[in-house]
Chains A and B, each alone.
Chain A
Amino acid sequence: MKNAVIGNNKQKANLIVLGAVPRLLYLLQQETSSTELRTECAVVLGSLAMGTENNVKSLLDCHIIPALLQGLLSPDLKFIEACLRCLRTIFISPVTPEDLLYTDATVISHLMALLSRSRYTQEYICQIFSHCCKLHHWHSCGFNSLPQPLLCANGPDHQTILFNHGAVQNIAHLLVSTSYKVRMQALKCFSVLAFENPQVSMTLVNVSVDGELLPQIFVKMLQRDKPIEMQLTSAKCLTSMCRAGAIRTDDPCIVLKTLPCLVRMCSKDRLLEERVEGAETLAYLIETDVELQRMASITDHLIVMLADYFKYPSSVSAITDIKRLDHDLKHAHELRQAAFKLYASLGANDEDIRKKIIETENMMDRIVNGLSESSIKVRLAAVRCLHSLSRSVQQLRTSFQDHAVWKPLMKVLQNAPNEILVVASSTLCNLLLEFSPSKEPILESGAIELLCSLTQSENLALRVNGIWALMNMAFQAEQKIKSDILRGLSTEQLFQLLSDSDVNVLMKTLGLLRNLLSTRPHIDHIMSTHGKQIMQAVTLILEGEHNIEVKEQTLCILANIADGTTAKELIMTNDDILQKIKYYMSHSNAKLQLAAMFCISNLIWNEEEGSQERQDKLRDMGVVDILHKLSQSSDPNLCDKAKTALQQYLA
């Protein structure tokens, strides 16, 4: 049987159809069978598992995993090795649910114990571990610049389970094994264990093997004469440790070893898979550190090198041979999204780098094309890249306008999954800034409606971005836009947002109100229609338990209202509000005092109609006394403001 099926998928399928698997499993589980026979059974099963994914499925259907795990309890090493080998083959198949390894709690500790048995058990067990603790979306998890609850549900759990079973201590010494395969599998295991896991990462820094700390061992594995696979995987380990804060970002092993190694992985000489992984890991490494971004940007012409990622499949490969075309096509998406991600990280903070990225050949066209690709991964990465670049005032004014980036962006925002919506709406926020020439066309294409609907989303990030974009939109906008926003949002929704549990949403909503209530005619107009509700909301917030910034923003809204001609009356007739303003004038926080003073001076301003009455009313309330006190204040701002206010009384 064994000899018949080796390397022959057809034979394997035949055997499975004929029902060989249950029979083999029966023999394997039979305690009375000789170990030689049981070992042979495991070998044949392993061979069957090497076939197609369907083979693996059939094996899984026959409950092969529990049978093999049971086999591990045998005292015979050869049999154990055969079982492990078969298990390894099954677990590295994408069709196998990794949870199967964790159904029985004793399995992991038994596997840990088997690690000392032979170099084969070491190799297979490490390989099983590294495949059974993968984060499904680990690349998208890498980006935490935005609040995203993206961590895969079982990822961290599996890491923790393995960690709690002493995986780090048990596997660390395998890194110096004499067998390359064992070293490599152990390294892979660590790269998976440490990923996005501060607990594991912090532990790894302090573990030493043969008097050498793990980071040093990893750095040795980065050397240029080591196999690429090893360099790349150890760079991943170091990257995880760095991102977890276990290694400083200015540590030479990051700056002079890991970063250059990852840049090399992006070069043309590497395989397409390696280039994808290299770029993604590098994107993750430099994501939040501007110094690393700067260093990466000058290393080996990385920005130009990445432009090459978009040239697959090349016109040459289409002609020369089908096999290569197929290969290129398969990786083309992956390459593009990896390049976008890395560009996004590179351009996250530094204006010069953004400029260099945009100056790269056809860059904007590529992003625009990327926004409308069918692959979600590419679209997401393209939006990220665009988001990064949209932080540049200069680029917003120039290349973003030249390439009408807003068009595909608005398209992306229709019916996209939340993952994309979050980044896309965040980008839209930047495009709606008042100096952005894209603002007009975006408004015309129905952005208000879209953004208003975002504010109703379950997703917090989307709510923040929606209201943020509206806030930007309302800044120094014309009357029509403001009314459109108010209408689109509806008063109920506005109140809903003002009572949002998230302070970010609240702040941006108040910001929106403040932007809406600017320039006198607008203030009067809005207050005439929504005055009652707005005053209610303001009262509510001033009475509620909110932080200083929120209260300051609210007082600023009041100051804006006080600037209106007719709107003033809404305050003057509201004693409750007046008392509150008075209270904040004597508040311990200078910012709030200042904001309250703005209200007062707007109310008592001389040249306006009815100022005398307002001044009198406020004097009766004891405001003047407070002003006198404040004019003696040590804070120059407060002092000045109080003196100007008092002058209004003198005139």
Chain B
Amino acid sequence: MATATPAGAGSPHGGDAAPPGPPEEQELSRRLTPLPRSWSPKDKYNYIGLSQGNLRVHYKGHGKNHKDAASVRATHPIPAACGIYYFEVKIVTQCLGMCGWQLGWDKHSYGYHGDDGHSFCSSGTGQPYGPTFTTGDVIGCCVNLINNTCFYTKNGHSLGKFVFLPSQSNLYPTVGLQTPGEIVDANFGQQPFVFDIEDYMREWRAKIQSTIKRFPIGDRLGEWQAMLQNMVSSYLVHHGYCSTATAFARVTDTTIQEEQTSIKNRQRIQKLVLAGRVGEAIEATQQLYPGLLEHNPNLLFMLKCRQFVEMVNGTDSEVRCFSARSPRSQDSYPGSPSLSPRHGSSNSHLHSTGADSPTCSNGVMSTKSKQSHSKYPTLSSSSSSSSSSSPSSVNYSESNSTDSTKSQQHSSTSNQETREYYDALFLGTKLSHYTDAFGSHDSEMEMEAEHYPNGVLENSSTRIMNGTYKHEEILQTDESSMEDSCPQRQLCGGNHAATERMIQFGRELQILSEQLCREYGKNTMHKKMLQDAFSLLAYSDPWNCPVGQQLDPIQREPVCAALNSAILESQNLPKQPPLMLALGQASECLRLMARVGLGSCSFARVDDYLH
């Protein structure tokens, strides 16, 4: 379940509402469907003047008759998928005459007039709706796109809902003025609202959640329960939680499709990959599932690339056998993550939104996105700085060598060696142009983020977002604890023979790549993988370089999952556990709802049900 997808990708959130998912995703949805947050300086009559950050509107026309009425609309339409949208307008000064407002300029417009309290729907003639309003009053408008109703508020009091026809065209927050000197101030959530919109949203959130909870499942005696048990069981089996699965099967009186030994085998292989001992994993796979890797050259290549990375890391057995430590004793590699479900990243955000929710304003979102910017420095800046610093780092260590300790000297020499290896490797390949590519490195990094795992996992894009997010967090902690870990982290465990072996392996890998290229045609992904793996050697400290994230143990997970899926597929078992499919289905369903403008999607999130 490492691929929990936060719901509502591309679903923007209403006038308020606590935005879902990791910040990247908020960013994304905000860019795709921005919320109206100010008046548009473009879409307005000439008689209208804007000020105070395009929030204050004043009238500067003649105001002699109805023809002098003027209006302004917001920068963006209300996104259909935001669920509930709300904004308020304070009448600062109003002389005589008509003050009203409307949503939209086209045929489908709805308005509420201050002079007579009438509302009008798509026509010039109004109907009695509510009280009149004047100077000092705060008038609000709430659009509920879940049940297609709208209501206005006056000084925090709801004046009564009416149904509007869902239209193809967009609805814009709009205000109309007609008298000289008239001024109104808009509040799109920059300040707390007078009306308790948060309470209204709570009601709808509860409503939708109870709809989900009470959704009829058409249970035929025990069928539903059996299905749920099956899902849990298959999930456990899939990830090779062998004993848990057996215990579960025993308690629930179900059977496990796959044989015990088969599960155990998979479990063993997975453990090896996760421990970074990819070489052994490949061997074991070949032995237990002959022909599997031969039929999956892409998978094999990916595994080998990973093996190379693990060699750099000093964890693969082919290099570890050179070190004094016994690989067996290292069975549980400290950094090895267990392949447990992770949707933590989005969970943490749920908490933070919970804390924010009482403030109830569109403004919340802006501060959040700011936070997200500062928290996640852009990749380009970091990569360019380290690329410029990397050549000088050698000099730096040399100049320091006079007063340095032994290990530092060692590391500096080994760094120099690394550089040589790097050169050696690349001189032997046709990839020498790669060094020039440093300048445009960031764009490639982005490419990776978008494309890399597509061939590996189904629910890819969000998974990757989670991945990078997690990764950077780890990177940060790594940086803070660098002084401790630095001496231990040496290329190939600091062993010379191991380094030789690595170089040799690198050449083999290069040959394999060329061979695959000949057989199956050019594969940009392979090329990329290889480049990334090799470029680790270009840095004095591979763990702390732009491509250093590859060394992160967490990067073993997609490889591990891919291998696991391939094995299962070869056994005619589903390569994805049904639980994950259901989860993906739910997320995809919500995304689809957002796209077609079904407002209720904004109050239903898969994450709410994952704990």
Interface positions of A (Cβ within 8 A of B): 223-225, 255-257, 260, 295, 298-301, 304-305
Residues on B with C-beta less than 8 A from A305 are 160
**Separation of A87 and B63 alpha carbons in the complex (Å):** 74
Q: How far is the CB of A351 from chain B (nearest CB, A)?
A: 15
Give the CA-CA distance A255 to B157 in the complex, in Å. 9
Q: Which segment, of B200-208, B320-328, B593-601, faces chain A?
A: B200-208
Besides the known contacts A225-B203, A225-B205, A301-B160, 6 further A-B residue pairs in the complex with CB atoms under 8 A apart: A224-B202, A256-B156, A299-B159, A300-B159, A300-B160, A300-B161
Question: Which A residue sits closest to B206, measured CB to CB?
Answer: A225
- Report the nearest B residue to A298, measured CB to CB: B131
B130 within 8 A of A: yes
Contact with A along B317-350 (1 / 0, CB 8 A): 0000000000000000000000000000000000
- When distances are taken between beta carbons in the complex, the residues of chain B under 8 Å from A225 are 202-203, 205-206
**What residue in chain B is nearest A299 (Cβ atoms)?**
B157
User: Min CB distance, B214 to chain A, in Å?
Assistant: 14
Give the contacting residue for A223; candidates B157, B160, B202; CB below 8 A: B202
Contact between chains at A298 and B159 (CB < 8 Å): yes
A297 closest partner in B (C-beta): B131
The answer for the CA separation of A300 and B200 in the assembled complex, in Å, is 14
**B203 & A260 in contact (Cβ 8 Å cutoff):** no
**0/1 string, B150-177, CB within 8 A of A gives 1:** 0100101111110000000000000000
Which of A256, A295, A299 touches B196 (beta carbons < 8 Å)?
A256
| Distance between Cα atoms of A515 and B131 in the complex (Å) | 42
Please name the residue on chain B nearest to A304 by beta carbon. Answer: B160
Least CB distance from A297 to B in Å reads: 9
Q: In the bound complex, do residue A260 and residue B200 qualify as a contact, i.e. CB atoms below 8 Å apart?
A: no
Tell whether A301 pairs with B159 under 8 Å between CB atoms, given A224-B200, A256-B196.
Answer: yes
Q: In the docked arrangement, what's the CA distance between A97 and B160, Å?
A: 44
> Is A260 touching B202 in the complex (CB atoms < 8 A)?
no
Q: Of B159, B160, B199, which contacts A224 at CB under 8 A?
A: B199
B130 touches A298 (CB 8 A): yes
Residues of A within 8 A of B131 (CB): 298
Restricting to B457-486, which residues have a CB under 8 Å from any CB of A? none
Whether A299 and B205, one on each chain, are in contact in the complex, defined by CB atoms closer than 8 angstroms, is no
Q: List 20 A-B contacts (CB under 8 A).
A: A224-B199, A225-B203, A225-B205, A255-B156, A256-B156, A256-B157, A256-B196, A257-B196, A260-B157, A260-B158, A298-B130, A298-B154, A298-B157, A298-B159, A299-B157, A299-B158, A300-B151, A300-B158, A300-B159, A301-B130
Bound Cα distance from A547 to B161, whole angstroms: 55
Q: How far is the CB of B157 from chain A (nearest CB, A)?
A: 5
Nearest CB of chain B from residue A425's CB, rounded to whole Å: 35
Cα separation A260 to B196 with both chains bound (whole Å)? 11
B113 nearest CB across to chain A (Å): 15
Q: Which of A225, A260, A299, A305 is most buried by chain B, counting CB atoms within 10 A of its CB?
A: A225
Check A223 against B199 for contact (C-beta < 8 Å): yes
**Which residues in A have their C-beta under 8 angstroms from that of B205?**
225
Complex CA–CA separation, A387 to B160 (angstroms): 28
Contacting residues, chain A, for B156 (C-beta < 8 A): 255-256
Which residues does chain A contribute within 8 Å of B206, judged by CB atoms? 224-225
CB contacts under 8 Å to A, within B418-470, are: none
Sorting the interface of chain B by its residue count into under 10, 10 to 19, 20 to 34 or 35 or more gives 10 to 19
CB distance from A356 to the nearest CB of B (A): 9
| Contacting residues, chain A, for B202 (C-beta < 8 A) | 223-225
Task: State how many angstroms separate the Cβ of B426 from the closest Cβ of chain A.
Answer: 62
What is the bound-complex CA distance between A255 and B205, given in angstroms? 24
Closest to B130 in A: A298
| Cβ-closest 9 pairs across A and B | A224-B203, A301-B160, A225-B206, A225-B202, A300-B160, A298-B131, A224-B199, A299-B157, A256-B156
Residues of chain B contacted by A257 (CB below 8 angstroms) = 196
Report the minimal beta-carbon distance from A206 to chain B, rounded to whole angstroms: 25
- The closest CB in chain A to the CB of B156 belongs to A256
Contact in complex: B203, A295 (CB < 8 Å): no
Cα A301 to Cα B117 in complex, Å, equals 13
Partner of A295, one of B130, B151, B157, B200: B157
User: Across the two chains, which residue of chain A brings its CB closest to B151?
Assistant: A300
Q: How far is the CA of A521 from the CA of B131 in the complex (A)?
A: 52
CA of A557 to CA of B565, assembled, Å: 108
Q: What is the chain B residue whose CB lies nearest that of A257?
A: B196
A224–B202 Cα gap in the complex (Å)?
6
Expressed in whole angstroms, the Cα–Cα distance for A224 and B201 within the complex equals: 8
> Contact string, B132-157, partner A, CB cutoff 8 A, digits 1/0?
00000000000000000001001011
Within 8 A of A (CB), among B203-251: 203, 205-206
Alpha-carbon gap, A223 to B204, bound state (A): 12
Whole-angstrom CA separation of A255 from B200 in the bound complex: 16
B101: shortest Cβ distance to chain A, in Å? 18
What CA separation (Å) do A295 and B205 show in the bound complex?
27
CA distance A301 to B200 in the complex (A): 17
Contacts of A255 in B (CB 8 A): 156
Q: Taking CB as reference atom, which chain A residue is nearest B129?
A: A301
Q: How far is the CB of A345 from chain B (nearest CB, A)?
A: 17
- Closest residue of chain A to B117 (Cβ to Cβ) is A298
Residues of A within 8 A of B203 (CB): 224-225
Q: Which residues of B contact A224 (CB under 8 A)?
A: 199-200, 202-203, 206
Closest to B210 in A: A225
Shortest distance between the CB of A304 and any CB in chain B (Å): 8
Rounded to whole angstroms, the CA-CA distance of A299 and B130 in the bound complex is: 9
Question: B157 to chain A: which residues have CB within 8 Å?
Answer: 256, 260, 295, 298-299
Give chain A residues whose Cβ lies under 8 Å from the Cβ of B154.
298
Minimal beta-carbon separation of A631 from chain B (angstroms): 52
A19 to B167, CA, bound (A): 71
Q: A352 — nearest CB in chain B belongs to which residue?
A: B131
Chain B residues near A299 (CB, 8 Å)? 157-160
A255 vs B158: C-alpha distance when bound (angstroms)? 12
CB of B499 to closest CB in A, whole Å:
62
Nearest chain A CB to B140 CB, angstrom units: 13
A437 to B161, CA, bound (A): 40
Considering the complex, give the chain A residue whose CB is closest to the CB of B157. Answer: A299
Kindly list chain B residues whose C-beta atoms are within 8 Å of the C-beta of A304. Answer: 160
Q: How far is the CA of A305 from the CA of B202 in the complex (A)?
A: 23
Residues of A close to B159: CB separation below 8 A: 298-301
Bound Cα distance from A257 to B195, whole angstroms: 10
Contacts of A295 in B (CB 8 A): 157
Residues of A within 8 A of B158 (CB): 260, 299-300
Who on chain B is nearest to A252 by CB? B156
With both beta carbons as reference points, the residue of chain A lying nearest to B203 in the complex is identified as A224
- State the CA gap A255–B160 with chains docked (Å): 16
* 8 A Cβ contacts from B29-43 to A: none
Chain A residue contacts of B199, Cβ below 8 A: 223-224
Q: How far is the CA of A616 from the CA of B251 in the complex (A)?
A: 121
Determine the residue in chain A with the shortest Cβ distance to B205.
A225
In whole angstroms, what is the CA distance A525 to B532 when docked? 121
CB neighbours of A298 from chain B (8 A)? 130-131, 154, 157, 159
